[in-house]
């Protein structure tokens, strides 16, 4: 997420020539088009974030299900020590 949002902002900046015309050039002109555009973008971003969260939850569940039967390791266990 920390990388994703700045990259999204960079895309907007780099492609502003495609949406700049939606911004009113005079005071009092309607913001309707630009607001609709960014509302659509916000909806797509929210969907993307939701999908990322769901994918993460699915991966966690899959990982946890691998150990649903408990830890029944048979064999020698080697302890790894970290030297500080």
Distance CA 53, CA 74 (A): 35
pTM of the model: 0.62
Let me know if 34 is exposed, middle or buried by CB neighbors in 10 A (0-12, 13-18, 19+). middle
Residue 48, Cα to own-chain centre: how many angstroms? 6
**DSSP sequence for the chain:** -TTHHHHHHHHHHHTGGGTGGGS-SSTT---HHHHHHHHHHHHHHHHHHHHHHHHHHHHHHHHHHTTTT-----S---------
Looking at residue 47, what is its pLDDT?
96
Please state the domain extents for the chain: 4-65
Over range 3-26, report the average pLDDT.
89
Instruction: Kindly report, residue by residue over 26-70, the tens digit of the pLDDT.
Output: 888 898 988 999 999 999 999 989 999 999 999 999 988 887 877
């Amino acid at each position: 997420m920390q990388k994703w949002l700045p990259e999204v902002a960079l895309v907007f900046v780099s492609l502003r020539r495609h949406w700049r015309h939606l911004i009113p050039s005079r005071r009092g002109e309607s913001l309707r088009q630009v607001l609709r555009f960014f509302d659509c973008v916000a909806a797509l971003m929210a969907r993307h974030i939701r999908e990322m969260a769901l994918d993460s939850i699915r991966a966690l569940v899959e990982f946890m299900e691998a150990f649903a039967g408990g830890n029944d390791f048979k064999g020698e266990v080697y302890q790894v020590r970290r030297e500080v």
